A and B are shown apart, each in its own frame.
Chain A
Amino acid sequence: MAEWGSAAARNDGLENTEESLLLDRLNRIEGNASGYFAVHLNLSKLRSNHKQGHFLEIAARTFDILVDSNDATLFTLTNKDMALICRNVDVDDVDGTVEKVRGLFSEDPLTDVSENVFDDPFSTWYDLSNPEDFAAFFAVITDLAVEAEQIHIAEAAQQDKEQQMGEPLAPSNLTEINKTLQGMRVADMIKRQACLQVQSGSGGDLVFFELFLSMADIKERVAPDINLFASPWLFQYLTETLDRRVLAVLVEEDFNEINDPLSINLNISTVLSRDFQNFHRAVDGNMSKIIIEFQIIDIFADMKSYTYARDSLQQRGYRVVVDGLNPLSLQYFEPADLRSDFIKISWGPEFTGDEEESRMEEMREVIAKAGRDSMILARVDSEKAVKWGLSLGISRFQGFFIDKLVQVIGGGRKPRANREAN
């Protein structure tokens, strides 16, 4: 199997691409196409989070047995689509394999089988012995060959960009980075983002400002050649150090003078540490202005510590956010059981805003059950995302789009902070 975007294919232009090989093959069988048929899998239409390389490799390998024991060839196209050419193969065998691949992507709307729609958006079958079908398939592949060339150019640019990301974070380079961070002042790298309560027609009320470290700035200053996100676990380790740096900045604040509530991201272990006690002293009774955000993986890794940390924070008047969820994850557990004050879910490119009504209805139920009043939709990058959230009963939003909104409102007046926090 050719690897996705392999170097050979990229340099030789159209010559050796999967598309050109497929077109060659079609030219050869055109004269005597009896017994031939093709299946086109529209994997390029999957949501981006399902189009990752290792997913597609596994999907391609699902055809191994079929290809090995029959007269069948799989072409993995540049745009991530797949084309299977078969000669005298039992349609049921092919169908079985296609269904297995469909099953792999069962979370993706592309694989939804709709009763009343004649077309299956996931796969298209062509009887190549039928000249009309043959011509149609040939035209589709010709178009994809042209598209492939453009993709290769874009990918080359992308690859350069990825090389700029640097070598992956590994235990061997982690020590050095961690040491640098421990002695660093991070005050100038702390950014803030507003979380707004949006009411239709009346702008928004400020819920809090989230303070966060700009990882781009950190990387630039500490490890320009290292990709800090290569391992989720090692990154999480780094955040323990970052927590302490952020707290070291915040203890110098006068919290009596702060009007807008602030939220900060912390590890549970940090909240149970001495650094947090120093912070608590600095907060000086203004706990109602502080919101602490925990990541779901941190919570699930040690529920007992989470429960203890949450109780002691809430008892003292802090509020707690569960972060690191997306709308999908709400279907797999009961976030309300975590008894936090807020639940933050991230909007992502996998939501187009035109989900089928049945999916939306399910999502609406899940959100109602988890508690609409505690929901925050984060990473909101468009008005579409806000509308999507509002239609699900969510009223609190955060993200680039909200930042722009705040700027606009800020021109006239500052977003009103909530009464009690003032």
Chain B
Amino acid sequence: MADQPEGKKRLPSQENLLLDYARRLEKHKDGRKIVILHLSALRPFNRRDQHIRAAASNFDALVSDMTGQLFTMLNADIFFIFKSEALAEVETIVQKIKYLFDDDPLVAEEDKQTQSFASWYDAATEYDSFLQLVQGMAQSEQDRQTAVRARMDSRAALKAKQKQGEPMTPDVLARVETALVRADLSNLVRRQFVCNVDSKMVPTQSFSELFISIADLRETLLPGVNLTANRWLFQHLTETLDRRMLSMLTKTDSISISGEISFNVNLATLLSKEFQSFDDNIAASRRGQMIIELQKEDIFSNLSSYVFAREFVQDKGYRVCIDGMTLETLTMIHRERLGIDLTKLVWDPELVDGGEEVHSLLKRVVEEEGSEKFIMIRCDNREAIDFGKSVGINLFQGRFVESLIAEDGRRREMLRLKRRIERN
């Protein structure tokens, strides 16, 4: 479209751009030559992004003075189409790039290879075979994309089925929801602690999240059915679970809710009669010890309801936590403007891989908003805690934290025993 500066947003693949260029080349093929650097044949560790970029940058001068056009394919091959008079210069550059990779078998054992490092074409005489080659590349890129998706589609569905059971249907949902009205769920309520972890990996409990174990619910009600297979049906199910959770929280004899607790609810639940009666039945002082966790998609499905509900619950003394944030959504969603008290950031090893840039970004966000507002969740290993601490996060939740608590418990028990022995 002519009226939109969209080049920066949508980048057509280099394969397609090259195809486009190759078609237009037909009219100007005289006096043009082409060199293809087969970097795709390099060993994987030699064709990382930085290697390809370094190789391509050798052509910068010729590209900027319009002597030639450069295309880098997804498979790392480089195409350079240039005016014939620059041939000597281009040959020197290609030689230079070759030296960059002289420890790779493609170059080091050149005589044993079926694939050469570079191939040369003269557009004037070999235009047709060049065009064919480019067409083939564009087509295979398209096929690859289609194949990846097809594989993801059926393979992922099969895998999910084998691992998690038959997918959920509306029929099954109706049965589950009917069963839920009568079922005693108190033995399915799980508690996971959010802890401060010190430098010696000793945890101190801050609050605990209460939730209904979906895996156990499935085992109890409908073994062999994957309750989470369809996002929207599952979301509907959670509204029923919300109501059951609230009624259990009201009857304190059914589950123990000592200390500060958090629980997940839907926005619709906060505005329902069930929440009103829950709120009526708990001691006013308890509200200050309760944290309500909400999902971003729920918040953005009805923002004016959210703003109203948040005002309402915060005024009563509850705190509001946004769950399931990632680095991307952390910077995208204005949590302060939303009046969020706490943010749960999902641990992902990619955060470490993101390098210094991600590191300092996260550090700045945590520092600006206050480290007490952040909780790193789904911490499966020590790396999560180490990374979190390095960006200023002190609160953690997840399997690894649970194991730290267990370990700490054992240590205290040992200490107690030891003291008793010493006293005797």
- A359 contacts which chain B residues (CB < 8 A)? none
Supposing A272-B149, A303-B326, A337-B332 touch, asked if A326 and B230 sit within 8 A by C-beta, the answer is no
CA–CA, A329 to B174, complex, Å?
33
- Counting chain B CB atoms within 10 Å of each CB, the highest count among A105, A178, A315, A331 belongs to A315
Q: Is B272 an interface residue (CB 8 A)?
A: yes
A301 B231 Cβ-Cβ under 8 A: yes
- Residues of A365-422 whose CB lies within 8 A of B: 373-374, 418-421
Q: Is A139 an interface residue (CB 8 A)?
A: no
A328 B303 Cβ-Cβ under 8 A: yes
Interface residues of B, dominant DSSP? helix
Of A77-85, A125-133, A183-191, A228-236, the one contacting chain B is A228-236
Instruction: State how many angstroms separate the Cβ of B235 from the closest Cβ of chain A.
Output: 4
Per-residue interface assignment for chain A, residues 289 to 312, with 1 indicating a CB less than 8 Å from any chain B CB and 0 otherwise:
000000011101111000100001
A331 B4 Cβ-Cβ under 8 A: no
Instruction: State how many angstroms separate the Cβ of A421 from the closest Cβ of chain B.
Output: 7
Instruction: State how many angstroms separate the Cβ of A275 from the closest Cβ of chain B.
Output: 10
CA–CA, A55 to B231, complex, Å?
28
A302 B301 Cβ-Cβ under 8 A: no
A237 B308 Cβ-Cβ under 8 A: no
Q: Which residue of B lies closest to A348 (CB)?
A: B304
B9 A236 Cβ-Cβ under 8 A: no
CA–CA, A61 to B280, complex, Å?
11
Q: Is B3 an interface residue (CB 8 A)?
A: yes
Per-residue interface assignment for chain B, residues 327 to 351, with 1 indicating a CB less than 8 Å from any chain A CB and 0 otherwise:
0110111100110000000000000
- A333 contacts which chain B residues (CB < 8 A)? 300, 332-334
A339 B9 Cβ-Cβ under 8 A: yes
Q: Is B45 an interface residue (CB 8 A)?
A: no
Q: Is A171 an interface residue (CB 8 A)?
A: yes
Q: Is A317 an interface residue (CB 8 A)?
A: yes
A100 contact from B230, B315, B334, Cβ within 8 A: B315
Q: Which residue of B lies closest to A234 (CB)?
A: B236
Q: Is B169 an interface residue (CB 8 A)?
A: yes
CA–CA, A183 to B329, complex, Å?
39
CA–CA, A205 to B2, complex, Å?
12
- B150 contacts which chain A residues (CB < 8 A)? 274, 277
Instruction: State how many angstroms separate the Cβ of A170 from the closest Cβ of chain B.
Output: 7
Supposing A49-B304, A312-B145 touch, asked if A233 and B233 sit within 8 A by C-beta, the answer is yes
B4 A312 Cβ-Cβ under 8 A: no
Instruction: State how many angstroms separate the Cβ of B299 from the closest Cβ of chain A.
Output: 8
- B311 contacts which chain A residues (CB < 8 A)? 103-104, 106
Supposing A315-B13, A332-B333, A332-B337 touch, asked if A297 and B173 sit within 8 A by C-beta, the answer is no
A314 B9 Cβ-Cβ under 8 A: yes
- A273 contacts which chain B residues (CB < 8 A)? 153
- A419 contacts which chain B residues (CB < 8 A)? 1-2
- A341 contacts which chain B residues (CB < 8 A)? 4, 6, 9-10
CA–CA, A205 to B236, complex, Å?
42
- Residues of A236-266 whose CB lies within 8 A of B: 236-237, 240
Per-residue interface assignment for chain B, residues 10 to 27, with 1 indicating a CB less than 8 Å from any chain A CB and 0 otherwise:
111100100000000000
Q: Which residue of B lies closest to A54 (CB)?
A: B271
Q: Is B356 an interface residue (CB 8 A)?
A: no
- B6 contacts which chain A residues (CB < 8 A)? 319, 341
Instruction: Give the interface size bracket for B toward A.
Output: 35 or more
CA–CA, A231 to B276, complex, Å?
20
B236 A171 Cβ-Cβ under 8 A: yes
Instruction: State how many angstroms separate the Cβ of B166 from the closest Cβ of chain A.
Output: 15
Q: Which residue of A lies closest to B5 (CB)?
A: A373
- A50 contacts which chain B residues (CB < 8 A)? 304, 308
- Residues of A311-359 whose CB lies within 8 A of B: 312, 314-317, 319, 326, 328-329, 331-334, 337-341, 350
Supposing A175-B169, A233-B236 touch, asked if A418 and B2 sit within 8 A by C-beta, the answer is yes
Q: Is B410 an interface residue (CB 8 A)?
A: no
Q: Is B307 an interface residue (CB 8 A)?
A: yes
CA–CA, A103 to B153, complex, Å?
48
- Residues of A27-66 whose CB lies within 8 A of B: 49-50, 54-55, 57-58, 61
Interface residues of A, dominant DSSP? helix
CA–CA, A137 to B11, complex, Å?
66
Q: Is B177 an interface residue (CB 8 A)?
A: yes
Instruction: State how many angstroms separate the Cβ of B229 from the closest Cβ of chain A.
Output: 11
CA–CA, A331 to B331, complex, Å?
14
Q: Is A286 an interface residue (CB 8 A)?
A: no
Per-residue interface assignment for chain B, residues 218 to 231, with 1 indicating a CB less than 8 Å from any chain A CB and 0 otherwise:
00000000000011
CA–CA, A178 to B173, complex, Å?
14
Supposing A197-B3, A328-B304 touch, asked if A277 and B149 sit within 8 A by C-beta, the answer is yes
Q: Is A200 an interface residue (CB 8 A)?
A: no
CA–CA, A237 to B230, complex, Å?
8
- A197 contacts which chain B residues (CB < 8 A)? 3
B170 A337 Cβ-Cβ under 8 A: no
- B171 contacts which chain A residues (CB < 8 A)? 171, 175
B328 A236 Cβ-Cβ under 8 A: no
A171 B11 Cβ-Cβ under 8 A: no
B276 contact from A61, A175, A205, A301, Cβ within 8 A: A61
- A340 contacts which chain B residues (CB < 8 A)? 9
Q: Is A172 an interface residue (CB 8 A)?
A: yes
CA–CA, A331 to B3, complex, Å?
26
- A302 contacts which chain B residues (CB < 8 A)? 231
- A236 contacts which chain B residues (CB < 8 A)? 232
Instruction: State how many angstroms separate the Cβ of B264 from the closest Cβ of chain A.
Output: 14
Instruction: State how many angstroms separate the Cβ of B284 from the closest Cβ of chain A.
Output: 10
Q: Is A107 an interface residue (CB 8 A)?
A: yes
Q: Is B160 an interface residue (CB 8 A)?
A: no
- B297 contacts which chain A residues (CB < 8 A)? 296-298, 300-301
Q: Which residue of B lies closest to A108 (CB)?
A: B304
Instruction: State how many angstroms separate the Cβ of A317 from the closest Cβ of chain B.
Output: 6
Q: Is B146 an interface residue (CB 8 A)?
A: yes
Instruction: State how many angstroms separate the Cβ of A177 from the closest Cβ of chain B.
Output: 9
B334 A332 Cβ-Cβ under 8 A: yes
Q: Is B417 an interface residue (CB 8 A)?
A: no
Q: Is B296 an interface residue (CB 8 A)?
A: yes
A337 contact from B169, B296, B328, Cβ within 8 A: B328
Q: Which residue of B lies closest to A317 (CB)?
A: B12
- B120 contacts which chain A residues (CB < 8 A)? none
A274 B308 Cβ-Cβ under 8 A: no
- B5 contacts which chain A residues (CB < 8 A)? 373
A420 B272 Cβ-Cβ under 8 A: no
A312 contact from B9, B149, B239, B276, Cβ within 8 A: B149
CB pairs A–B below 8 angstroms (29 shown): A54-B271, A54-B272, A55-B308, A58-B271, A103-B315, A107-B304, A171-B173, A171-B177, A197-B3, A233-B235, A234-B233, A237-B236, A273-B153, A274-B154, A298-B297, A300-B296, A315-B12, A319-B10, A326-B303, A329-B300, A333-B300, A333-B334, A341-B9, A350-B304, A374-B4, A418-B3, A419-B1, A419-B2, A421-B1
Q: Which residues of A are interface residues toward B (Cβ below 8 A)?
A: 49-50, 54-55, 57-58, 61, 100, 103-107, 170-172, 174-175, 178, 197, 205, 231-234, 236-237, 240, 272-274, 277, 280, 296-298, 300-303, 307, 312, 314-317, 319, 326, 328-329, 331-334, 337-341, 350, 373-374, 418-421
